[in-house]
Structure 1
């Protein structure tokens, strides 16, 4: 079938550029065929897509699909398949996402799994050690350098340059030598590896060339590093998706090291390019630290806030060395901004990371240098005396105010003056220092004072800081000291943040009973909706709507909930309040408004975009047939969240722009069943007649193939334009009727179309459709 044919193409494409032994791709193809023949077509398709998910950043899919495939492979007694999928899932974590200690156990387990008697001969087995080396480098590159060298060296002893695994293993070996502070050896090893590859008729990967350039930089040879990068630019990358930004970043660092600042700035990838790629963060920060002194790179509080977010990410992922390096770099940048308080905090954070590092030689001295630099800088003077700071802060222009400076100006009075402490602590939280803000604020409210006497505003702010800081136990302790209404509201906030919906619903309901506030009622409704009771969630929102205290967002929310519960009278009331153009006055709202793009979940964890006709304020009918296995199909009516997922562009684009909305729930299934077709494309006139015939019957059809899809002429071997897609028919149409209609409609075409699954369902001409599929390579 075409879907499977597309996977064969993917295997061929992957074999061209992924860093695994060529034998593994032959094995992948053979395994796919075996899985297909034994009725595991879905597993066969997933097998080739998992590597693409890892490299293309489709992590939502990868984290769902890969464990399921690995578990299935184990159940089938396919250890090579299990190794292959576990490897690519791990690469998806430790590659671009740069997971460190959190992935180390899995990396070690995979390396051990690859040593099993029934696995060690798998062509993918050496890659398990490569993945372990990457994970160790992410955790603490220099600290684990010798361990990496030992593990990689043992594998490289048995892998020659004729293997596609060689280049990736050699790249990691060069990186480990550099981290071991042996840059000249790293350069020599890289050159020798390239020479061995050349003699074997193979080309080095771009990553090996890039690692050689990093080694040259570490050896104090930036001119040679730039030359190496230029020589490597045409090499085939192991990760083609990332190559462009990684190459630009390394060129920028090299040019900056050479003092060619303007060229370096021009080459540097923008923050929005690297912001979603943790693997690049340390090198990007190092480059920015080199370039900001020129004035071409803005050293702002926004940069400091982003670096703090990156540090928090690596704290979470166990990137201990990365968090140390980022804390020091961010600290020196803070010094340059006269952010003394922040530089000192960052020095303390760098010091805290030392306990997680395996090697710390020279690191305490670097921390001391940062502290000394901070001591030599004076804070910018405050804009006024203590008694005017709150007034000046509240009057400051939010678009130009510098929150870092305000934290410094508030600091001498924080913990004593409540108004100052509130602003100081919440601003600390905004800048990424929620734990510290919570400590200062919490001491004033709960240790020096009685939280039961604190304002609702202060309790809300403190609760938010504690939640952001991960101090759940302190939120619960705070709640225990509050009045009933405030206690229940505080716990509901915590449980909602942690998505503990049953507890959220219970505490929010108690909060409403004690003091019916809009926030408590909203949380109660959200929790009940999450627990699956849309009608009850709408009932909970009604008093807020009827009181007039609700906001526009509450009316929209009520529309969604009431639509899901088919309470059309309530939908009309809320719609009237929003001036929505509902035409009908009673019964279900089933109008024809405009096209939308419904964003719906797919079984593999991804999101799928489906065209639909909006039939009401928050309902739409899907119009595109979906492949088998989806939980929705053409004809289904869904409820969607009416907040657009993308801004509507300004004219003149607006006229043709189809707004995307997130699907919420199925309202009514349409009862349609989809059937797959595949084959050589007919003439334009034949295709027009075919479409018109299906449209007359009300049977939706959608072509999923693109202009590049081809099939093979069975006689000449010529590549012919192909077409594949799905036709959906309602429950009133028997499969035999569709089979007969398709047979009549296509019998005069120059080349036959196959609908193998439908033929098998009907039990008619199955062999003919199997023959077409085989002869045309469908």
Structure 2
């Protein structure tokens, strides 16, 4: 481990000692976020990381960060050609004189070979094997990279259909690692599973998969590995014919990342081939989403493989349109492959199969189709698509038919085809039509800003649709002032349109101008037949603006009975959870609700959170984020989204404390002493939490862990001292490793306690 990470750990210690704690944390954060599949967070953090490496004039650190950037791009996001230029440049950077000795320069080989594999695995087999072998010759089996690069070599063999050779190679590499006294991580074994699947030896593959899971149980499982295991389990169960179990094991499509798309689809295909009811247009739409994604990132070989699955399923459903679309994608992708052996023959064979289905025929006259479709009990956009295309061709002026066709195409993730139809109509029509707004939505959602400019030129500069398009462009570019100015102009010209008013509310909220947000939200409320939902928002904005008198007036309109009659609303409204959206995702904190839309947060934030929320006085959006349970007797605490912080609680960092429970009397005394100081403590351990005293015959003891926070003015050194003073009479000492480290105190006693009580 030290061969790869030793210099990284040393650099972190040096940064900590220099007071650059945030920089030190960033080094761990990047790798953790990649492993936890925090894909967007890695992308957002990378500029800061690279700036740090350059400010420190540390090229090794830049190699480290760029390696993890590539793990995110070619690993989690399976980018192919779109990442190739950067991967090659990075490989060259990592092999300069000043970076060649950096241990992470070895890892860069994996990044480049995986990028080639994403583009066209079989087409780059020899090059992938050569570069992996050359790098393996430079390191010993004691390096973690030895296992990673062995996996890359084995995957190249598998892509070349040399499955038995891959299995022998993996056995050989495992023996080298064990002979060097190192532990096997399971990555090599997972490649054996891949080889056995290719050989059709599903029982052996599943048995090995389960053994890998069992071997890894003692270690923390990163989200990346959990996702891969979940998808692989479903795939193997389906291959074994255990369809009910496979369906239950298959994760929701929207819960997985691009790295799992192909295995998920392989599992779904295996299920669908044995369960006809699973082979639906919805599955086709999901597969098309993956195909569209692979096109966008230049992952070409996967397009061929997945398109073949799509055609097989489509023909089984009798969907000629879907099969033809996948066939066209194969034809367009073929020239981009380095190795094209036999694919044209497969394309020709599929074309012949599709041709045997003949042309679809309208079930009724074109002008009767929509009425006929609306009378059907079940709608299937895939079956309807051919009919709607024929009807649209027969009735080119019928906007309802075209709109139905567009809806069907969108349902099947055929946005590009939908846009082609819409462009043809809008360029001819050039009016403020619903179809024009549909095209605008597709352009905005697809980030097609160049085409958006073309769209805007089709209309008069101050027509409603032109102004709305410019507003959407400004919002997309995060130019809030321009969006606001354009919205004012659109409202002036078209006062009955609600869109620009909604944008004004949004902009004013983003700019923390809650008085104006309330004013324009009131304008929207006045346009509603039932304004109650809008008025709740008005009240939230007025509270955020600290306009308590007007907030009370709105409460009266909503028939809310307040106890107090004037001034700040400060009453007991029970407990709520306040949801804050942080870099790490949503976080719900228990709070005391003190008004219809205000609350004060009770619990300290987790130590991992950068922002401390404890005792913050906040305004929240009154929309319930969690539905109330049907059982009225079930305890329910509503959850609301934080809108604005009226007043910070001014507490400092939270510290984690763990160990044996001292008993109710001592712990209650401890809490009372902290309360006197104005500090906050929050127990997070379950009631059955136990610790093991390894120095007393592994005796099981009642355990407790909690977080502690003190006002910002109290230093870590002071907190550490108070903790020592308050618990010195306890029968067992507690652990607060990170607090001690921050306070500059010896951490060895805490490490000894962690080992003694077997704390994680």
TM-score (norm 1): 0.82
Q: For residue 141 of structure 2, give the secondary structure of its aligned residue in structure 1.
A: coil
Q: Provide the rounded CA distance (Å) in 2 between the counterparts of 1:745 and 1:209.
A: 51
> CA 1:356–1:584 in structure 2 vs 1: closer, same or farther (change >3 Å)?
farther
Deviation per CA, 1:24-82: give whole Å up to 9, x if none: 34444444433333323334444444433222223344444455345324433444444
1:528 pairs with one of 497, 501, 508 = 508
Point out the more displaced range, 330-339 or 766-775: 766-775
Q: Report the CA distance between 1:303 and its aligned residue.
A: 0.8
> CA 1:701–1:179 in structure 2 vs 1: closer, same or farther (change >3 Å)?
same
Q: Provide the rounded CA distance (Å) in 1 between the counterparts of 2:584 and 2:706.
A: 24
Asked whether the equivalents of residues 571 and 594 of structure 2 are also in contact (C-alpha less than 8 Å), the reply is yes
State the match for 2:390 in structure 1.
Answer: 412
State the match for 1:501 in structure 2.
Answer: 480
Point out the more displaced range, 126-135 or 688-697: 688-697
Q: Provide the rounded CA distance (Å) in 2 between the counterparts of 1:674 and 1:206.
A: 37
Confirm or deny that 1:426 pairs with 2:407: yes
> CA 1:767–1:534 in structure 2 vs 1: closer, same or farther (change >3 Å)?
closer
Asked whether the equivalents of residues 623 and 634 of structure 1 are also in contact (C-alpha less than 8 Å), the reply is yes
State the match for 1:625 in structure 2.
Answer: 604
Confirm or deny that 1:460 pairs with 2:440: no
Q: Provide the rounded CA distance (Å) in 1 between the counterparts of 2:694 and 2:8.
A: 26
State the match for 2:151 in structure 1.
Answer: 171
Q: Report the CA distance between 1:688 and its aligned residue.
A: 0.4
State the match for 1:586 in structure 2.
Answer: 566
Which structure has the higher relative contact order (CA within 8 Å, separation 6+)? 1
Q: For residue 143 of structure 1, give the secondary structure of its aligned residue in structure 2.
A: helix
Unaligned runs of 5+ in 1: 1-20
Asked whether the equivalents of residues 73 and 83 of structure 2 are also in contact (C-alpha less than 8 Å), the reply is yes
Q: For residue 645 of structure 1, give the secondary structure of its aligned residue in structure 2.
A: coil
2:317 pairs with one of 337, 340, 358 = 337
State the match for 1:442 in structure 2.
Answer: 423
1:308 pairs with one of 288, 294, 297 = 288
Q: Provide the rounded CA distance (Å) in 2 between the counterparts of 1:610 and 1:307.
A: 38
State the match for 1:725 in structure 2.
Answer: 707
State the match for 1:17 in structure 2.
Answer: none
Q: Report the CA distance between 1:424 and its aligned residue.
A: 0.9
> CA 1:77–1:689 in structure 2 vs 1: closer, same or farther (change >3 Å)?
same
Q: Provide the rounded CA distance (Å) in 2 between the counterparts of 1:750 and 1:629.
A: 32
Q: Report the CA distance between 1:574 and its aligned residue.
A: 4.2
State the match for 1:18 in structure 2.
Answer: none
Q: Provide the rounded CA distance (Å) in 2 between the counterparts of 1:272 and 1:217.
A: 23
Unaligned runs of 5+ in 2: 756-760
Deviation per CA, 1:322-364: give whole Å up to 9, x if none: 2343333223322222222222222223333335433333333
Q: Report the CA distance between 1:179 and its aligned residue.
A: 1.9
Q: Provide the rounded CA distance (Å) in 1 between the counterparts of 2:634 and 2:14.
A: 50
Q: Provide the rounded CA distance (Å) in 2 between the counterparts of 1:335 and 1:578.
A: 57
Deviation per CA, 1:543-596: give whole Å up to 9, x if none: 222344575543343333323222334434444555555444432222222322
Q: Report the CA distance between 1:405 and its aligned residue.
A: 2.1
State the match for 2:758 in structure 1.
Answer: none
State the match for 1:9 in structure 2.
Answer: none
State the match for 1:150 in structure 2.
Answer: 130
Q: Provide the rounded CA distance (Å) in 1 between the counterparts of 2:494 and 2:566.
A: 36
Q: Report the CA distance between 1:382 and its aligned residue.
A: 4.7
Q: For residue 288 of structure 2, give the secondary structure of its aligned residue in structure 1.
A: helix
Q: Report the CA distance between 1:498 and its aligned residue.
A: 5.4
Q: Report the CA distance between 1:540 and its aligned residue.
A: 2.1
Q: Provide the rounded CA distance (Å) in 1 between the counterparts of 2:17 and 2:279.
A: 60
> CA 1:470–1:36 in structure 2 vs 1: closer, same or farther (change >3 Å)?
closer
Asked whether the equivalents of residues 206 and 234 of structure 1 are also in contact (C-alpha less than 8 Å), the reply is no
Point out the more displaced range, 422-431 or 288-297: 288-297
Q: Report the CA distance between 1:522 and its aligned residue.
A: 1.0
Aligned length: 743
Asked whether the equivalents of residues 108 and 132 of structure 1 are also in contact (C-alpha less than 8 Å), the reply is yes
Q: Report the CA distance between 1:391 and its aligned residue.
A: 2.3
Q: Provide the rounded CA distance (Å) in 1 between the counterparts of 2:350 and 2:738.
A: 68
Asked whether the equivalents of residues 612 and 653 of structure 2 are also in contact (C-alpha less than 8 Å), the reply is no
> CA 1:773–1:188 in structure 2 vs 1: closer, same or farther (change >3 Å)?
closer
Q: Provide the rounded CA distance (Å) in 2 between the counterparts of 1:287 and 1:725.
A: 43
Point out the more displaced range, 740-749 or 286-295: 740-749
Deviation per CA, 1:367-400: give whole Å up to 9, x if none: 3333333222257765533222222344556xx3
Q: For residue 675 of structure 2, give the secondary structure of its aligned residue in structure 1.
A: helix
Q: Provide the rounded CA distance (Å) in 1 between the counterparts of 2:640 and 2:10.
A: 41
2:305 pairs with one of 325, 328, 332 = 325
Q: For residue 295 of structure 2, give the secondary structure of its aligned residue in structure 1.
A: helix
2:115 pairs with one of 135, 147, 157 = 135
Confirm or deny that 1:108 pairs with 2:88: yes
Q: Provide the rounded CA distance (Å) in 1 between the counterparts of 2:532 and 2:668.
A: 46
> CA 1:759–1:51 in structure 2 vs 1: closer, same or farther (change >3 Å)?
closer
TM-score (norm 2): 0.84
Deviation per CA, 1:730-750: give whole Å up to 9, x if none: 98x999999998787556556
Q: Report the CA distance between 1:196 and its aligned residue.
A: 3.3
Confirm or deny that 1:484 pairs with 2:463: yes
Asked whether the equivalents of residues 621 and 640 of structure 2 are also in contact (C-alpha less than 8 Å), the reply is yes
Q: Provide the rounded CA distance (Å) in 2 between the counterparts of 1:164 and 1:29.
A: 16
> CA 1:504–1:327 in structure 2 vs 1: closer, same or farther (change >3 Å)?
farther
Q: Provide the rounded CA distance (Å) in 2 between the counterparts of 1:445 and 1:46.
A: 49
Q: For residue 576 of structure 2, give the secondary structure of its aligned residue in structure 1.
A: strand
State the match for 1:91 in structure 2.
Answer: 71
Q: Report the CA distance between 1:420 and its aligned residue.
A: 0.5
Point out the more displaced range, 373-382 or 437-446: 373-382
Q: For residue 591 of structure 1, give the secondary structure of its aligned residue in structure 2.
A: coil
Q: Provide the rounded CA distance (Å) in 1 between the counterparts of 2:645 and 2:465.
A: 37
State the match for 1:12 in structure 2.
Answer: none
Deviation per CA, 1:630-670: give whole Å up to 9, x if none: 44432221222333333334426841x43333322222224
> CA 1:45–1:360 in structure 2 vs 1: closer, same or farther (change >3 Å)?
same
Asked whether the equivalents of residues 756 and 769 of structure 1 are also in contact (C-alpha less than 8 Å), the reply is no
Q: Report the CA distance between 1:154 and its aligned residue.
A: 0.9
State the match for 1:346 in structure 2.
Answer: 326
What pairs up with 1:689-708 in 2 under 5 angstroms? Answer: 689-695=669-675, 698-702=678-682
1:180 pairs with one of 160, 165, 178 = 160
State the match for 1:543 in structure 2.
Answer: 523
Q: For residue 116 of structure 2, give the secondary structure of its aligned residue in structure 1.
A: helix
